[in-house]
């Protein structure tokens, strides 16, 4: 991975490089490749030195802390360790995971307070949204302009 990033950096020195990383595995949500902050730091350091500008942090649920005795989520720890901008994905605006959606679990509109708290606390810089846009293409506009009560909740019937 570092060799590829270095190659891109060499060919395109001013081109921003983002790298998607994940704290879990599909089908094994308890799997944690980095059991403590030092492990995460050892994973991130070579990627930073190779030239990554932004980490796109995929999480099972963006609001869950990943280490005991800390309220920081995965992108929060990545940002704290790396000093770089982070993007977060994982149940943004939802209270059910993608896997739970496939299984037919009913959806409830998520509480936006936690999302706003973590965003304003600068745990992450960019929010990646997937499923909510399928039901409401104006989701981001409504979120930004405090019209959250007008957001059309995600409905799995809108999935392609």
Using one digit for the tens of pLDDT, what is the confidence trace for 28-42? 666 777 889 999 999
Question: What angle separates helix 37-50 from helix 2-11, to the nearest 10 degrees?
Answer: 30
* Residues 128 and 56 sit within 8 Å (Cβ to Cβ): yes
Q: How far apart are the first and last CA of the chain?
A: 32
Percent of the chain with pLDDT over 90: 48
Read off the pTM.
0.84
pLDDT range class, residue 126, cuts 50, 70, 90: very high
Mean per-residue pLDDT of the chain: 86
What distance separates the 2 farthest-apart alpha carbons in the chain? Answer: 48
Q: What pLDDT is attached to residue 54?
A: 97
Q: What pLDDT is attached to residue 25?
A: 66
Residue 106 has pLDDT above 60, yes or no: no
Residues 6+ apart with CB under 8 A from 3: 50
Q: What pLDDT is attached to residue 105?
A: 59
Q: What is the 3-state secondary structure (H, E, C) of 32-70?
A: CCCCCHHHHHHHHHHHHHHCCCEEEEECCCCCCECCCCC
- For the chain, domain boundaries: 2-10+34-158
Interatomic CA distance for residues 37 and 81, integer angstroms: 8
């Amino acid at each position: 991975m570092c060799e590829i990033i270095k190659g891109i950096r060499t060919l395109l020195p001013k081109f921003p490089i983002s790298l998607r990383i994940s704290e879990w595995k599909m089908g094994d949500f308890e799997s944690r490749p980095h059991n403590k902050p030092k492990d995460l730091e050892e994973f991130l350091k070579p990627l930073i030195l190779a030239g990554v500008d932004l980490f796109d942090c995929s999480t099972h649920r963006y609001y869950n802390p990943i280490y005991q005795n800390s309220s920081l989520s995965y992108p929060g720890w990545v940002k704290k360790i790396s000093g770089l901008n982070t993007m977060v994905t994982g149940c943004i605006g939802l209270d059910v995971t993608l896997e739970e959606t496939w299984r037919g679990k009913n959806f409830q509109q998520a509480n936006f307070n936690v999302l706003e708290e973590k965003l304003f606390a600068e745990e992450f810089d960019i929010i990646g949204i997937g499923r909510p846009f399928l039901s409401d293409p104006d989701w981001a506009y409504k979120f930004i302009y405090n019209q959250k009560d007008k957001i059309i909740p995600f409905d799995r019937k809108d999935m392609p």
